[in-house]
Amino acid sequence: MQSHLNDIHGAGAEVLAISVDPVEASQQLAADLKLAYVLLSDPELKVIDAYGVRHPGGGGGKDIARPATFILDRDGVVRWRDLTENYRVRVRPERILEELAKIP
């Protein structure tokens, strides 16, 4: 995502990532990777559950979020999503840009 961030912003979108990791861990990861987008922390899995992406036991016995990408419009309506069971498989930024172009 980082390498396509300007294109995503140019399409009028923002990138946010969310995980069960504590705030400090997310901040450290963002700093280490020099990410220019926000990593959010959801250790109680409230947002993760709201979007139905909890992966029970997926983090070495700990519940985590399964890999997922959502595009929400300005009203918070999910316009597109990509879900996978394999954490190694992520949606390509080019696909996200294609889907963003479909939103009026």
- Contacts of residues 49-53 at CB distance under 8 Å and 24 or more positions apart, as own/partner, are 53/83
Of 78, 15, 19, 83, nearest to 47 by C-alpha is 19
Mean pLDDT across 28-52 = 94
Tokens of residue 93, six digits: 């930024």
Domains of the chain with CATH codes: 2-101 (3.40.30.10)
Is it the case that residue 104 has pLDDT exceeding 90?
no
Mean pLDDT across 83-89 = 84
Of the listed ranges 2-11, 21-30, 85-94, the one predicted with least confidence:
85-94
Is it the case that residue 16 has pLDDT exceeding 90?
yes
66: DSSP letter? P
Is it the case that residue 83 has pLDDT exceeding 90?
yes
Query: Band of the pLDDT at 39, cuts 50, 70, 90?
Result: very high
